[in-house]
Structure 1
Amino acid sequence: MAIKVLVVDDSSFFRRRVSEIINEDPDLEVIGTANNGKEAVEQTALLKPDVITMDIEMPVLDGISAVKLIMQATPTPILMFSSLTHAGASATLDALDAGALDFLPKKFEDIARDKEEATRLLQQKVKEIGRRRISRYVRPAPASTLMSSTSARASNLRQPDRSFAPSRASENKSTDTDIRASGKKYQLVAIGTSTGGPVALQNILTQLPQNFPHPILLIQHMPAAFTPAFASRLNSLCKIEVKEAQNGDLLRPGVAYLAPGGKQMLVEGRGSGQKLRIYEDDNARVTYKPSVDITFASAAKSFGNSVLAIVLTGMGADGREGARMLKQAGSKIWAQDEKSCVVYGMPQAVANAGLSEASIALADVASRINREVGCG
């Protein structure tokens, strides 16, 4: 059965373009369109789509407000379309806070080398989030944790539960929150993620204490226009410092360094005084910029067996080979469990390769990190 899609945009041209791309895939079917947020809420309740593609700036009711109302009344996986500007980045992050699962730039050429690649990416993202079913709501999340100042006006709305219907593969995962720390000594924590990552990272980092004993590397697949806004948002919400990484940054305990979008982040040096190298990557064979594999591999060379690396929700297999190098050096690898992932791609690749020592629910990741490094 085809995944049913509702396309929402105030531009008739864009609605038609997106609908044509989606309908080209036999596994997808556009069952309706809407030209503003109010119509989107009404059409969602009427048509019960499996996925919604949603614009942000629309008349009558904007996309962010529509996401909040949909997630409150008829929880549905939502893919946002955004402009690659600072304002567009902030609005998209607000939409993710409200419950949207992923986003794409409205100008497809900004994310793809050609029309065919852009078409495949849109179809793939719709199918990936369409395979998940949002199951229920939980109690409201604290505004200071899940809402930025720009979206605090809606803090009276309940936040969506990003747990999804379990599958057979997730039934055997360990969720024992009483697991003791291994006693291993660390010098670095590294976290890689993609689809669903902004919310997952926010969930984890806001629970780390100010005196966190190690530097943290964050590799999130994200456009260059988004990473400054995302780092700023995290920094405003977290007890630790969060910054967009810059070339030459010295690694300091209690600081999280977010890899800049469109570039690669390497760790250089051994012993004390390791620093970051940020560089433009013109290698056409490298799909992801930033790449989890590249950063993890450099961490293996600089830190050897003293890294705690975690692979979170995301499409594809980025992180698997870097995790393999870390594992071979003696470091520890964890993966997010299937049930709590938006897309169980990257963690599954690591788990299936036998590299992860634990599959952990998102709600437990922060407490497990704190316990493992000796601050919880």
Structure 2
Amino acid sequence: MSILKKSKLLVVDDSAFMRKLISDFFLDHPYIEVIGAARNGKDALKKIEQLKPDVVTMDVEMPEMNGLEALKEIMQKHPVPVVMLSSTTQRGADNTLMAMEYGAVDFVAKPSGTISLDLHKIQDELVRKVIGASKISISKLHKPLRTKLAINQPMRVTVSNEESIDTTKTKPLETSFPTISQKSWAKTSKKIILIGTSTGGPRALQEVITKIPATVNAPILIVQHMPAGFTKSLATRLDQLSEIHVKEAEQGDILQKGTAYLAPGGYHLKLKKVGSSFAVVLDQDEPPRSGHRPSVDVMFENVSQYSDFDKIAVIMTGMGYDGSKGLVSLKNTGNVIAIAESAETCIVYGMPKAAVETQLVDEVADVDNIAQTIMKYMP
């Protein structure tokens, strides 16, 4: 009988108490084995070289060399999947987003500050994210972000039952997709763009949102799986880098063309009609869907009831299958172009894979081509 090889975990935290607590989460775990601990970034770099872990958990805020500085060096010298542990302060949220940009795979928010005596509250989440990170190919880590690519540059996009458009060595897809109906898709009709993503999403969103021109003739709704406190930092960061306006969605926001509304952590993002306009509804009453609030499925299903606009639905990197059920609702009730991120560029090919398996996806594109693919269907 073959013995399952466990993934090796290095725990990095300046608190001995936290190192012990996190290590204890993985005692007798069937898939993960803690092979060591490090007290700061410098120590982590040495231990990574010596112990060659498959995955690392790392505190953001540490003395001598903090998590951000260490992460930069790790990605240059010894790339390995890293899950960050962060405080929920404004500074902690901003630093966590920088860590995502530097190549961290995911993060977990500590429930109560640097030394969290109640860390057990996030035990299941941390264990799940470490297992997920341990399966990620090193080749997927720390690819440089290519932002603001000209919209008219060649695309790598595959279209249903047709030849590739403007190809640069596009591989044929195993799944057959429904043909896009040119009759039902009129460029002149009103549009809304819906984007859902999870693990690896902050970097993917930066790739996509920064390439959408200010003249885009539609509002954009975004669900990124993130806890409360982090979505505002993400929206601010994207707004600084983008031509369009990006904001954390607020109750009652009237949708404007050229503005992206990011669902705040802890709230489902929905719409309601106000006269001839649409307003944001933030819902905390509906329970999480598949463990997520905000949920991509909830957003897609809610928007599917409105026939006032055609929808462009985009599903990008992430674990699980959030978005695939909502995609069925969208396709059953209106004109929808569905775009999935390719397996080649996803940090985790979970959500896009589930979407592709519905047989309702129209286009598959690498993350750096998704903005062009969206714009192809815009007036």
Please give the TM-score of this superposition, normalised by the length of structure 1.
0.84
SS at match of 2:306: helix
Q: Quick check: 1:48 aligned with 2:52?
A: yes
Which residue does 1:19 correspond to in 2? 23
Aligned counterparts of 2:281 and 2:140: Cα–Cα separation in 1: 43
Query: How far is the alpha carbon of 1:353 from its aligned partner?
Result: 2.2
Q: For 2:207, which of 203, 208, 233 is the aligned residue?
A: 203
Partner deviation per Cα, 1:180-238 (whole Å, 9 max, x = no partner)? x9752351000011111111111100011111111100001111111111111110110
Amino acid at match of 1:347: P
User: Would you say the 8 A contact 1:177–1:364 is kept in 2?
Assistant: no
Aligned counterparts of 2:88 and 2:229: Cα–Cα separation in 1: 6
Which residue does 2:292 correspond to in 1? 288
Aligned counterparts of 1:335 and 1:82: Cα–Cα separation in 2: 30
Query: How far is the alpha carbon of 1:175 from its aligned partner?
Result: 11
Aligned counterparts of 2:36 and 2:119: Cα–Cα separation in 1: 24
Aligned counterparts of 1:87 and 1:340: Cα–Cα separation in 2: 29
User: Would you say the 8 A contact 2:209–2:242 is kept in 1?
Assistant: yes
Which residue does 1:369 correspond to in 2? 374
Query: How far is the alpha carbon of 1:268 from its aligned partner?
Result: 1.5
Which residue does 1:357 correspond to in 2? 362
User: Would you say the 8 A contact 1:10–1:35 is kept in 2?
Assistant: yes
SS at match of 1:266: strand
Aligned counterparts of 2:121 and 2:364: Cα–Cα separation in 1: 32
SS at match of 1:80: strand
More helix by share: 1
**1:1-376 residue pairs with structure 2 within 5 A?**
1-107=5-111, 118-135=122-139, 141=145, 176=164, 178=166, 184-185=185-186, 187-269=191-273, 272-281=276-285, 283=287, 287-303=291-307, 306-330=310-334, 331-374=336-379
User: Would you say the 8 A contact 1:319–1:350 is kept in 2?
Assistant: yes
SS at match of 1:23: coil
The 10-residue stretch of structure 1 (299-308 or 241-250) with the greater mean CA deviation from structure 2:
299-308
The 10-residue stretch of structure 1 (84-93 or 280-289) with the greater mean CA deviation from structure 2:
280-289
SS at match of 1:373: coil
Amino acid at match of 1:335: A
Aligned counterparts of 1:227 and 1:284: Cα–Cα separation in 2: 17
> Higher Cα Rg: structure 1 or 2?
2
Aligned counterparts of 1:54 and 1:303: Cα–Cα separation in 2: 47
Amino acid at match of 1:314: G
User: Would you say the 8 A contact 1:175–1:361 is kept in 2?
Assistant: no
Please give the TM-score of this superposition, normalised by the length of structure 2.
0.83
Query: How far is the alpha carbon of 1:303 from its aligned partner?
Result: 3.7
Query: How far is the alpha carbon of 1:269 from its aligned partner?
Result: 2.2
The 10-residue stretch of structure 1 (308-317 or 268-277) with the greater mean CA deviation from structure 2:
268-277
Partner deviation per Cα, 1:149-206 (whole Å, 9 max, x = no partner)? xxxxxxxxxxxxxxxxxxxxxxxxx994527x97523510000111111111111000
User: Would you say the 8 A contact 2:105–2:141 is kept in 1?
Assistant: no
Gaps of 5+ in 1: 146-173
SS at match of 1:219: strand
User: Would you say the 8 A contact 1:6–1:53 is kept in 2?
Assistant: yes
Partner deviation per Cα, 1:52-75 (whole Å, 9 max, x = no partner)? 101011111000000000001111
User: Would you say the 8 A contact 1:296–1:326 is kept in 2?
Assistant: yes
Partner deviation per Cα, 1:55-112 (whole Å, 9 max, x = no partner)? 0111110000000000011111110000112111001001111110100012289xxx
Amino acid at match of 1:351: V
The 10-residue stretch of structure 1 (229-238 or 271-280) with the greater mean CA deviation from structure 2:
271-280
Amino acid at match of 2:53: P
Aligned counterparts of 2:38 and 2:163: Cα–Cα separation in 1: 41
Give identity over the alignment, percent: 40
Amino acid at match of 2:246: V
The 10-residue stretch of structure 1 (118-127 or 11-20) with the greater mean CA deviation from structure 2:
118-127
SS at match of 1:269: strand
Cα distance change on mapping 1:198 and 1:137 into 2, 3 Å: closer
Amino acid at match of 1:258: L
Query: How far is the alpha carbon of 1:26 from its aligned partner?
Result: 1.1
